[in-house]
Structure 1
Amino acid sequence: MTKVDNISNNKELSLEQPEELLSVLKARYENNMHRHEGLEWAKVQAKLDANTEKLWSLIEMERTGGEPDVVGYDEKKDEYIFCDCSAESPKGRRSICYDHEALEARKKHKPENSAINMATAMGIEMLTEQQYRELQKLESFDLKTSSWVQTPEDVRKLGGALFCDCRYGQVFVYHNGADSYYGARGFRGSLRV
Structure 2
Amino acid sequence: MQGAPAAKIILAPKVREQLLNDLEERFAGHMSRHKGVVWAKVRAKLEASPDKLAALREMERTGGEPDVVGHDKKPDVYVFVDCSAETPEGRVSVCYDRKGWESRKEHRPKTNAMDMAAAMGVEMMTEDEYMELQKLGEFDRKTSSWLKTPAQVRDLGGALYGERRYGRVFVGHNGAQSYYAVRGFRGVLKV
- TM bucket, shorter chain: over 0.9
Question: Offset of 1:152 from its aligned partner?
Answer: 1.0
Structure 1 residue 95 corresponds to structure 2 residue 93: yes
Question: Offset of 1:163 from its aligned partner?
Answer: 0.2
Q: What is aligned with 2:74?
A: 76
- Secondary structure of 2:135's aligned partner: helix
Are the counterparts in 2 of residues 149 and 163 from structure 1 also a CA contact under 8 Å? yes
Question: Offset of 1:109 from its aligned partner?
Answer: 0.1
Q: What is aligned with 1:122?
A: 120
Structure 1: give runs of 5+ residues left out of the alignment: none
Number of residues paired by the alignment? 191
In the TM superposition, 1:149-188 aligns within 5 A as 149-188=147-186
Question: Offset of 1:12 from its aligned partner?
Answer: 3.6
| Distance of 1:10 and 1:111 partners within structure 2 | 26
Question: Offset of 1:105 from its aligned partner?
Answer: 1.2
Structure 2: give runs of 5+ residues left out of the alignment: none
In the TM superposition, 1:42-81 aligns within 5 A as 42-81=40-79
Deviations 1:110-130 (A, max 9, x none): 011100000000110100000
Are the counterparts in 2 of residues 3 and 113 from structure 1 also a CA contact under 8 Å? no
The CA RMSD measured in Å over matched residues stands at 1.7
Q: Which runs of 4+ in 1 moved over 3 A?
A: none
Q: What is aligned with 1:86?
A: 84
Question: Offset of 1:49 from its aligned partner?
Answer: 1.2
**Cα separation, partners in 2 of 1:180 and 1:52, compared to 1, 3 Å:** same
Question: Offset of 1:11 from its aligned partner?
Answer: 2.2
Question: Offset of 1:15 from its aligned partner?
Answer: 1.9
Question: Offset of 1:25 from its aligned partner?
Answer: 0.2
